[in-house]
Amino acid sequence: MALLNWKADYCTGNAKIDDDHRTLFERINDFHYAWEHKRDRKDIARVLNRLVEYAEEHFAREEGIMRAAGYPGLARHQAIHEALFEQIFVLQGHFEDGRIRIDRDAVDFLRGWLVDHIVGEDMKLSAYVEGRVEAVPARKASDIDVV
Ligand SMILES: [Fe+2]
Ligand SMILES: [Fe+2]
């Protein structure tokens, strides 16, 4: 069974970000599958590398979208991305140099690593964009100039 299942609740409302998040789900599921089926270390390292690479690409892309939207929480969000990247980078490094074995805790860590961030932080972008749309006053028929 897949570790992570995509839910509508995870949609941020930005199609590109949502596509990226779905891909990250797949990458974490690939990693979980490799671990659960006791693939050799090389295989697990390969899927972990793909996950780390994609996470880096995604963070940069998401920050670009936030910048373009004028999102005021960008600097804080970038700092959170840096900390998240550091966590996964350290995990990858420790696995590669044989300091850790991937266990259930590491798998659960990855699940929380992604889902908590999407739900807790990435969703704030959609709240901001929606709030901004609502803040634009609706035009009334009487506002429209008749020429
Ligand atoms: Fe994010
Ligand atoms: Fe994200």
The closest alpha carbon to 110, from 1, 2, 4, belongs to: 4
Ligand nearest to the CA of 55: 2
* Residue ranges per structural domain of the chain: 14-121
* Residue 115 reports pLDDT greater than 80: yes
39 CA to centre of ligand 2 in angstroms: 28
Say if residue 64's pLDDT is above 90.
Answer: yes
- Percent of the chain topping pLDDT 70: 90
pLDDT of residue 146: 46
Query: Domain 14-121 - what CATH class?
Result: mainly alpha
What's the 143 CA to ligand 2 centre distance in angstroms?
40
Structure tokens at 23: 């891909």
Q: Considering just the CA atoms, what is the radius of gyration of the chain in Å?
A: 19
- Other Cβ atoms within 10 Å of 91 Cβ, number: 19
